[in-house]
A = this chain, B = another copy of it.
Amino acid sequence: MTAADFVLDPRLKAGSFFICDWDLCRVSLKNDKTFPWLVLVPQRRDIREIFELAEADQMQLTREISRAARALKTVCSADKINIAAYGNMVPQLHIHVFARFQGDPAWPKPVWAVHRDEISYTDSERETEIEKFKNCFGKLES
């Protein structure tokens, strides 16, 4: 199949904003400004676990996770990058890559260990954030 056959799960789409498509993954910004947070979704159909991807896709996924992590480190001066793939509720394989800071609302625990309400970006904040990531991705790819 090609990326053209790919359909992003509507639950993932609803909570995030499109940034760009890489060779394998669709890259989105999660709509929660508490944590700078990217969601990577391999543009392949019917994949739920990383080991269901073809080996070349697994390798590309790793390159793209690393690129996302490096961008978060660079753009946000993050103290730590956290990476997680669950998919217990939304089966389409998706990887959370997000920035953590000493003193953030859940630090040093996993963000899921602390209940909090998500805080949406305003339109202009969202545009600014997306632009920052696009610029950084461009530099990391060159």
Within 76-99 of A, Cβ neighbours of B (below 8 Å) are at 80-89
Number of interface residues of A (CB under 8 A): 33
- Indicate whether A122 reaches chain B with its CB closer than 8 angstroms: no
Query: How far apart are the CA atoms of A2 and B48 in the complex, in Å?
Result: 35
**A81-B49 in contact (CB<8A):** yes
Give 5 closest A-B pairs by Cβ, nearest first. A88-B108, A110-B112, A51-B66, A84-B84, A112-B113
- Indicate whether A139 reaches chain B with its CB closer than 8 angstroms: no
**B80-A83 in contact (CB<8A):** no
**B86-A85 in contact (CB<8A):** no
Q: CB-CB < 8 A to A26: which residues of B?
A: none
